[in-house]
Amino acid sequence: MSDLSSLTPLLAIETSCDDTACAILDSHGTLLGESVLSQEDHAALGGVVPEIAARAHLKALPSLVDLTLERAGLALSDIALFAATTGPGLIGGLIVGSSYAKGLAMARGKPFMGINHIEAHILTPRLPASLRPEETAPNFPYLALLVSGGHCQCILVEGVGQYRRLGGTIDDSAGEAFDKVAKMLGLGWPGGPALEALAKEGNPRAYTLPRPLKGRPGCDFSFSGLKTAVSRHLEPFGREALPRHIAADLAASFQQAVADVMTDRVKQALAMVPPVTALVVAGGVAANQTLRQRLENIAQEHHIAFLAPPLRFCTDNAAMIGWAALERLYQGEQPGDIALAPRPRWPLSERCAPSAHPSASTSPSLMEPSS
């Protein structure tokens, strides 16, 4: 087991979209302190405005870092490594977060690690704090379904830095589709949680909606046509207020269609890969209980574990950024990303595996707990 005492505790920052987050982890992956600030200014505008988000990150970070240090019972001088999301995401937020973390690192003479946001999401089910008492961290390989406002992908996770993208969306992401349909139904933004709540009042078989790509080879996704189909059902109402029972039925029918597509695509993905140890779901849409239940059923049918992180680890957070840094450190990667530029697009295929390290065969998720 590698000794990471000289590189921990580490402080991680996440600013890829509209959540400003900071977390501090020790060498075992124990979450020592965490803070998340969700920006509220975007709701009135119907979606995230990148310039507003970047300015909000800049304003919030100093006090958020101080608050996280206070919660961890540490001083800035105690931090041995700084990490931050460097892509993909909104470029303004990425610049703010990574630059702030780099500045702290340079001022303290400490190293910096740039972390891929997607990699952090799909490694989250191995984060000790995301596991329930009865759960164990998934061993490699496992199948990850990443569903969020900006991403929708099936990824075979063969090891840290070893990822095979099996399929992804060819138009809207699942989260984007939820938000847009919610807006059509007059639910505001963010729409996913509101639509799920309204769907509980409705009949999922009330409206016949398409299941784009269902039954097709591969595991790509498409939600644009489904979104358009919902809008056509709304056309007869024009500018009139939509009766609540109609909105509820449409919400339930839409949610059911998305779940049908998701389960079909995941089944296709499982048929494309060698045996896996688990099916994991990550990203903000992973909080949807209907989707979770359908995916759990698939896992049971295939006799594999199903893991879905708690809500606070499904949405953007800094704990997952710190954990991704730890996973790479335990594989022998040395921090030294101070010149790594933020990237709005950063495919996992360009995030190569770290070199093997003879004493790093044990992942922190499988280590004994800290004393």
Q: Is 222 annotated as a binding residue?
A: no
Q: Is 150 annotated as a binding residue?
A: yes
Q: Which residues of 280-296 are buried (b: 16+ CB within 10 A; e: fewer)?
A: bbbbbbbbbebbbebbb
Q: Is 117 annotated as a binding residue?
A: yes
Provide DSSP, 212-277: TTTT-SS--B--HHHHHHHHHHHGGGTTSPPPHHHHHHHHHHHHHHHHHHHHHHHHHHHHHSS--S
Q: What are the Cα distances from residue 196, in Å, to 73, 113, 202, 214?
A: 38, 37, 10, 22
Number of helices followed by number of strands (H, E) in the chain = 10, 10
Q: Are 108 and 77 in contact (CB under 8 A)?
A: yes
Q: Is 192 annotated as a binding residue?
A: yes
Q: Is 147 annotated as a binding residue?
A: yes
| Cα-only R_g, the chain | 21
Q: Is 196 annotated as a binding residue?
A: yes
Rounded Cα–Cα distance for residues 173 and 223 (Å): 7
Q: Is 283 annotated as a binding residue?
A: no
- Residues contacting 134, CB < 8 A, separation 6+: none
Q: Cβ of 358: how many Cβ atoms within 10 Å?
A: 7
Compute the CA torsion angle 51, 55, 58, 59 (nearest 10 deg): -160
Q: Is 146 annotated as a binding residue?
A: yes
Q: Is 288 annotated as a binding residue?
A: yes
Binding residues: 117, 121, 146-150, 179, 192, 196, 288, 316
Binding residues for substrate: 146-150, 179, 192, 196, 288
Binding residues for Fe cation: 117, 121, 316
